[in-house]
Structure 1
């Protein structure tokens, strides 16, 4: 089977409706991912079926139209190869999306993808979350912040929550240790003025692993000292 066939199959099994145009966009994204992966390290997964389910459908598992829609202003913190931001942008083409990554080589890849897919309302930034989260143009400006496979929850909250506007959402994609990570993050959530709104368990087609989406709501104004300087969130988690 070709990638586009796997993508259609797994999307249907997961309950997602994708148009022919969206399927073609996912296919272009996949081809670029495989091509660039030979030059820079983007992903250990390149098999078409595995990419379709473990990267693309997994990214789309965050979609909740009560929280994300075409009018949302969003940022993907530590986006890497573009997950989950780019798949969500394919689903919601009018959504405002910022992709943030600390490695310039990946930023160049992301810009190529955005150009090939003719994205509008997209910003791609080379930088660190700890620095950008202090800047007034980005601090508490987003309806929704995503992050996938970046750090443990106490650290991740300090990276992501500075971008979330009050009453907005931080959405974290997590694996089998998600309950323990949430427990570890309770102090960070309290300090950063946020709380877990809901948890959605995820069963991806054909996989037996444990995954969950953590929806965290920003409940108050972030204390000015956060985020701390680069390195501190990892060395001394809240």
Structure 2
């Protein structure tokens, strides 16, 4: 089964960590610098796409999870009819292999989305698809977490609480927990799991679980596979304030390498 969020899609937007807020002005800045339509890989429930569209930018979003896209579509139904709103086109598809009849000024894979591709051949194929769909002067921005210097069995950890909050819209009390029970150090894949424990206003409780295996990269490894795909890296950061590498995140801004020899 391909990796995506299914069971807990309707709870995804309750997560308000800084990773899921601070990147929005970052992507907007680049969208203004490279005007045109944007392709978002792993668009999920529309966190990034809706923000950019609210600024008048056209966005195409691809996601493998029908459940996440259903949440996104429900949001679209509640968006006020605004002539300044950019057009949004949603596609149920897989970022590891896609073919669209257009090219984009910017392609983004925000917050861990790219790490859901765990097979190395699929990773390269995805990057080559991305390159194919970029305008000649377009950019691709990818964001992955920066792993610990040593990734081994010590990564495994028991279930613990990540956050808890009241859902203002429903009044439900939600606790998010997570744990990791396996790591593949050869293929660099971790196996985190997360659970949402929901207490409804009528007192009923429910535990919703999703699993999301993720490939992890060190910066030199991600750099190599990007170069192998026929793209070059023009900027690299560790946070959305453009801090230099060796921080919490690895953020690469990439362009097509005009010297690469690929048939398209």
Bucket of the pairwise TM-score, normalised by the shorter protein: 0.5 to 0.7
2:27 matches 1:59? no
- Alpha-carbon separation, structure 1, partners of 2:59 and 2:98: 15
The alpha carbon displacement at 1:165 in A equals 1.8
Deviations 1:152-187 (A, max 9, x none): 497263453332222210011232249954311344
| RMSD (CA atoms) | 3.5
CA–CA separation in structure 1 for the residues paired with 2:28 and 2:142: 12
Once the two structures are TM-superposed, the CA of residue 40 in structure 1 deviates from its matched residue by 4.4
Using the TM superposition, name which of 195-204 and 97-106 deviates more: 195-204
Residues 1:108 and 2:61 aligned together = no
Q: Structure 2 vs 1, CA of residues 68 and 52 (structure 1 numbering), >3 Å: closer, same or farther? A: farther
Distance of aligned partners of 1:109 and 1:115 in 2 relative to their CA distance in 1, 3 Å threshold: same
TM-score normalised per structure 1? 0.59
Distance 1:210 1:144 in 2: 24
| TM-score, normalising length: structure 2 | 0.54
Asked if 1 retains the 8 angstrom alpha-carbon contact of 2:10 and 2:68, the reply is no
Partner of 1:151: 114
1:172 corresponding residue in structure 2: 142
- More helix per residue: 1 or 2? 1
Describe the shift of the 1:215–1:127 C-alpha distance in structure 2 as closer, same or farther (beyond 3 A).
same
Does the CA-based 8 Å contact 2:98-2:129 persist in structure 1? Answer: no
Aligned 8 A contact 1:62 1:213 in 2? no
How many equivalent residue pairs? 175
Structure 1: 5+ residue stretches without partners? 1-36, 226-238
Instruction: State yes or no: 1:79 paired with 2:117.
Output: no
Partner-residue secondary structure (3-state), 1:202: coil
Contact 1:77 1:159 in 2 (8 A): no
Name the structure with the higher strand share.
Answer: 2
Q: Classify the secondary structure of the residue corresponding to 2:22.
A: helix
Q: Is the 8 A contact 2:53 2:86 kept in 1?
A: no
Q: Does 1:223 align with 2:262?
A: yes
1:41 paired with 2:8, answer: yes
- SS of the equivalent of 1:124 reads strand
Aligned counterpart in structure 2 of residue 195 of structure 1, from 216, 232, 244: 232
Say if 2:175 is the partner of 1:210: no
Q: Is the 8 A contact 2:114 2:142 kept in 1?
A: no
The correspondence of residues 4-23 of structure 1 with structure 2, limited to 5 A, is none
Distance (Å, rounded) in 2 between the aligned partners of 1:46 and 1:129: 21
SS of residue matched to 2:29: coil
